[in-house]
Amino acid sequence: MKMKLFIVATPIGNLEDITFRAVQTLKDVDFIAAEDTRQSKKLLDRYDIETKMTSFHAQSGDAKTLQIIDRIKAGETCALISDAGTPGISDPGFRLTRAATKQGITIVPIPGPSALTTLISAAGFPTDKFTFHGFLPHKKGRQTLIKSFTEAAQSQIVYESVHRFPKLLKELQEHVGGQRMICVGRELTKMHEEIWRGSVDQAVAHFNKDNTKGEFVLIIAPESFTIA
């Protein structure tokens, strides 16, 4: 029998954004490794998925990884899900996938939403080529990286936490310039979804009230790009 680990993409906000194949896989596997089992329970309840969960998150050490690998090697099938979106994109998912591949376990991706591709698809920014940074470093190297966006020939894409979003806009203003075009995806697929396009200066003026809450993806266009 083939040992299998399914990598299952789940919604980034709207619980209806899940594929038939993802739901069926989550029902069929012997267990689910979830980043936050309480968060994922809402999704499982919505689709009557009764499969047992075990947690696998950023703080899970090697022992937990091995425990999951050992269960798969003993014949159980496992689905890995993250809090939202596609496991392995700016979350701890890759650690389990890496360990599984080393053990000869077959990885089966079940594709679906990601905050990254969701914003790219709607931005209308040049994204046939782009650089994705995930979360920017909090301290060391942050300023240098942001400065490097100034000369970049292709769009730069970052994830940002709610706490640092206003700070990031100010940093872009200072290091990249107020005229640079950005696209902000806030609360994508959720009730208060906002896809905002404009200059950094306009963004600083716009995002200054309740609209600094939520989850954010940012696309920073190359200097040559204008919204005309």
- Residues 83 and 75: their CA atoms lie apart, in Å, by 26
Separation of CA 32 from chain center: 19
Q: How remote is the C-alpha of 19 from its chain's centroid?
A: 17
- Check residue 36 and report its DSSP letter: -
- Which pair of structure tokens corresponds to residue 133? 């940074």
- Name the one residue in this structure whose structure tokens are 């990884």: 65
- Residues between 160 and 179 with contacts to ligand SAM, criterion CB under 6 A: 160-161
Position among 64, 190, 197, 206 found at the interface with ligand SAM (CB under 6 A): 190
Q: Which CB sits closer to ligand SAM, 31 or 132?
A: 132
Instruction: Pick the binder of ligand SAM from 43, 127, 149, 185 (CB under 6 A).
Output: 185
Number of helices and strands (H, E) in the chain?
A: 8, 10
Nearest-approach distance from CB 24 to ligand SAM, in angstroms: 21
Residues between 7 and 66 with contacts to ligand SAM, criterion CB under 6 A: 12-13
Residues 71-90 that bind ligand SAM (CB under 6 A): 82, 84-86, 89-90
Measured from the CB atom, the residue of 32 and 188 that comes closer to ligand SAM is: 188
Q: Tell me which stretch binds ligand SAM (CB under 6 A): 37-45, 143-151, 156-164, 202-210.
A: 156-164
Q: Is 90 left (phi over 0), alpha (psi -120 to 50) or beta?
A: left
Element (H, E) at 183: strand 181-186
Stretch that binds ligand SAM, among 40-48, 96-104, 138-146, 180-188 (CB under 6 A): 180-188
Cβ atoms 158, 220 nearer than 8 A: yes
- In the complex, least distance from residue 216 CB atom to ligand SAM, rounded to whole angstroms: 5
Query: Please, which of residues 109-138 interact with ligand SAM by CB under 6 A?
Result: 114-116
Backbone angles phi, psi at 44, to 5 degrees: -65, -40
Q: Which residues would be at the binding site for ligand SAM (CB under 6 A)? A: 12-13, 82, 84-86, 89-91, 114-116, 159-161, 185, 187-190, 215-217
